Structure 1
Amino acid sequence: MRDRLDEALRAGRLDGLHAVLAARDGRLLLEHYGSGEDHSWGNSLGIVEFGPETLHDIRSVTKSVTALLYGIALADGLVPAPPEPLLPHFPHHPDLAADPLRARLTVEHALTMSLGLEWREDLPYDSPANAEIAMELAPDRYRYILERPVVEAPGTRWSYCGGATALLGHLIAGGTGQALPDYARDTLFEPLGITRYEWLAGDDGVASAASGLRLVPRDLLRIGELVRCDGMWRGQPLVPADWLRTMLRPRLRTEWGAGYGYHWYLESVAGHDLAAGMGNGGQRLYVLPDLDLVVAVTAGNYDHPEQWRTPLAVLDQVILPEVG
C-alpha cells in the first residue's frame, strides 16, 4: 500500500494531498502526511508541513458530524423528530411560519437537503453571491435561509444546502441549551478521546454546523470508526445504532447519482457499499462496512472543479487494491 501511494504521488495523481489514514477492523494500515499550501475557511496558512498533531479544515465533512450529534440529541428527546414541522422551532419568524408553502417544511427536509428553497453554493466560497457566504454575512442567518424563494415542493429533489445544516445546528443548540461545539465536546469528542479541535464561527459567534470543524486526521478516522462500529466505542454506545441505520438509508439522489441519507453520501465503489462525508478541497471520510475499512483524507484543492479526483484516487488506486 505504501509503495502504491509513493508511486501515485510521483506520477502526480494525488495533487494537493495533505494526509491519508486507513484502518481495517480498527488496525491502522496506512498513515501518510505531506506538505503544501493550506487555508482555513479561505484564510491562507501558507506552506504547512502536516503531521499527526496538525489541525485541518474538514469543511463539509462537518455536516456529517452534525448529523451524528443530531442523532445523539434525538435519543435524549432534546430535538424534534424528522417528521416534525420545522418552522414552529423558529418562533422569531412567525411571518414565515404563516406562509403555507413554507409550513410544509419538516426536519427531515433539512436532514436530506430537500427544502425546495433557492440556494446556490456552486460559486466560489470567497464570493458573497455564494449562498453559504451570504448566510454568514446576513444579520439573521436563519431568516436568510428560511425566506429564500420557494422553487419546488419540499422533499422533491436533493439540492446542496449548507443552510439546511445551519438549521439543524440551531435545533441542537436550542434543544440542548449548549453551543454546538460544547455539546459535541461532551457527547462525542471527549468520549472518543478527541481533545484537539477547533470549531470556526461566523461574525455572530455561531459555530458553523456546515463547515467549521477542524480536526487532526487521526480523530477524523475515529469518527469513521464510530460509524463502522454501529455507534459503539470501547463497549459504550455513543450514537444510537437505530439512528445510524436511519441516517445511512438512501432517500434521494445527488446530481451525480450518489444516494443521500441524512447528511451522508451513499455510493458503491468496486462492488462495496460506501458511506462518506465529503468536504471542499478533497476532505473525505470513507466508511466501507463490509470491508471493516475506514479512510480519512485531507487535501488542499479548495474550490477546484476536479477536487474529487485526489481522494477517489487514494481509495481506488492505493487502498482498495490491498483490501478489496
Structure 2
Amino acid sequence: MDSRALTDRLARAVEQDRVPGLHAVVVAHRGRVVLEHYGEGEDLRLNEPLGHVRFTPDTLHDVRSVTKGVVGLLYGIALADGRVPEPREPLLRHFPEYPDLAEDPRRAALTVEHALTMTLGLEWNEDAPYTSAANDEVAMELAPDRCRYVLERPIVEEPGVRRSYCGGATALLARLVEKGTGSALADHARDRLFEPLGITRFEWVTGADDTALAAAGLRLTPRGLLAIGRLVLDGGRGIVPASWLATALRPHVRLDEDSCYGYHWYTGRGWAAASGNGGQRIHVAPPLDLVVAVTAGQYDSPGRQTASAVLDEVILPAIER
C-alpha cells in the first residue's frame, strides 16, 4: 500500500465531500501505519456540544457503540480470571437481587450468551433519537436501577434466535464484570486492557450514579482505537485470551447476507468490526493484515456512514493485491 497515494485518495474524497463529517482516520497495513489524517468539525461529548474542534493525535473522541466491543473484550479478560460466569450460565443466577424476576421461568432461562449476542428476546427499541427517553438506552440510564430496567422488559420473542440491538445487554455484562472484579469498569479497562496496550488517554463517561455508561460512554483517541484493532488482529497478544477472541469473532447470529454478530463484535468473511453512531469504527481484516480506525461527526445521521465510505472508496481499493 502506497502511503502517498493513499493520502492523495483521501484528500480527493474529502474535497469531493464523499466522506462527510470525517474527523480522523488511522490505518495500519502489514504492521506499519500507512495513513494518519486529522480534520476538523463540530463535535459532541455524548449530547454535550463541544463546538468546532481541530482534531489531533491526542484529541479524545466519542466512540459511541464501539464501547460495546471494548466491553466484550473486558468480559473475556475477566472470564479468564474466573471473575465472571461462563456464557452458557443462567443470567439471573448472577443477579440474586432480583428474585422476583427469576421466578418467571422464561426469564430464568436467559443466559449470559444471550446478552453477549444481544438475543435476549426482550422488548427494546433504540430507533428513537439518543436525546429522547423514548429510546430504551436513554430510558435505562434515567431509571433508578438500570439492570432491573433491562431484565424486567417484556419478553417478546424466543431468546437466542434474533439479534435485537440492545445497549441494555452491554449494561448487564458490564455489571457482571464490576461485580466479579470488584473494580469500576473504567479501572478494570485501564489496568487490564488500556495500559498493557500503551493507551494512556481515555475517558469513560458516567451516569448520574457515577457508573460508566457501558453501551456508549467511552472516549478514545484514534490511535487508541487502532491499538485495540491491532490487538484483535494479533489474536489478543496475551492480554485478551486468544480462545475468547476466536469465540467472540465467530458468527453467532446472522444479520444479513454479508454480516453476522458475535460477542459484541460484527463479523463477516475476512473481517471483524466494532461500530458506533456517527461513523466511529474499528475495522480489522486479517487476510489483508489491515486495521482501520475512523472517527466522525455524523451522529444520528441516517444513510451511509462515513466510515464505510472511507473503507470502500479510499482504503480497500488502494491495497496491493
State whether TM-score is above 0.5: yes
Cα distance between partner residues in 1 of 2:180 and 2:305: 39
Cα distance between partner residues in 2 of 1:35 and 1:276: 24
Pairing 1:186–2:182 present: no
Distance 1:163 1:255, change over 3 A: farther
Partner of 2:314: 318
Partner of 2:51: 46
TM-score for both structures, normalised by structure 1 = 0.96
Shift of 1:22: 0.3
How do residues 131-210 of structure 1 correspond to structure 2 at under 5 angstroms? 131-210=136-215
Partner of 2:246: 245
Stretches of structure 2 lacking an aligned partner (at least 5 in a row)? 1-5
Which of these residues, 76, 80, 85, is aligned with residue 85 of structure 2?
A: 80
Distance 1:119 1:255, change over 3 A: farther
- 8 Å CA contact retained: 2:271, 2:286: yes
Stretches of structure 1 lacking an aligned partner (at least 5 in a row)? none
Cα distance between partner residues in 2 of 1:159 and 1:97: 22
Shift of 1:26: 2.1
Give the aligned length.
315
- 8 Å CA contact retained: 1:42, 1:126: yes
TM-score for both structures, normalised by structure 2 = 0.96
Cα distance between partner residues in 2 of 1:209 and 1:42: 16
Shift of 1:136: 0.3
Cα distance between partner residues in 2 of 1:60 and 1:316: 21
Amino acid at match of 1:305: P
Amino acid at match of 2:30: D
The alignment partner of 1:15 has SS state of: coil
RMSD of aligned residue pairs (Cα, Å): 1.0
The alignment partner of 1:148 has SS state of: coil
Amino acid at match of 1:79: V
Residues 124-162 of structure 1: CA distance to partner in whole angstroms, max 9, x if unpaired?
A: 000000000000000000110000010011101000000
Cα distance between partner residues in 1 of 2:312 and 2:156: 38
% identity of equivalent residues = 64
- 8 Å CA contact retained: 1:159, 1:254: no
Cα distance between partner residues in 2 of 1:165 and 1:184: 15
- 8 Å CA contact retained: 1:284, 1:311: yes
- 8 Å CA contact retained: 1:217, 1:296: yes
Partner of 1:259: 260
- 8 Å CA contact retained: 1:53, 1:216: yes
Pairing 1:300–2:297 present: yes
Q: Which stretches of structure 1, 4 residues or longer, exceed 6 Å deviation after superposition?
A: none
Partner of 2:3: none
Which of these residues, 7, 13, 22, is aligned with residue 17 of structure 1?
A: 22
Shift of 1:255: 5.9
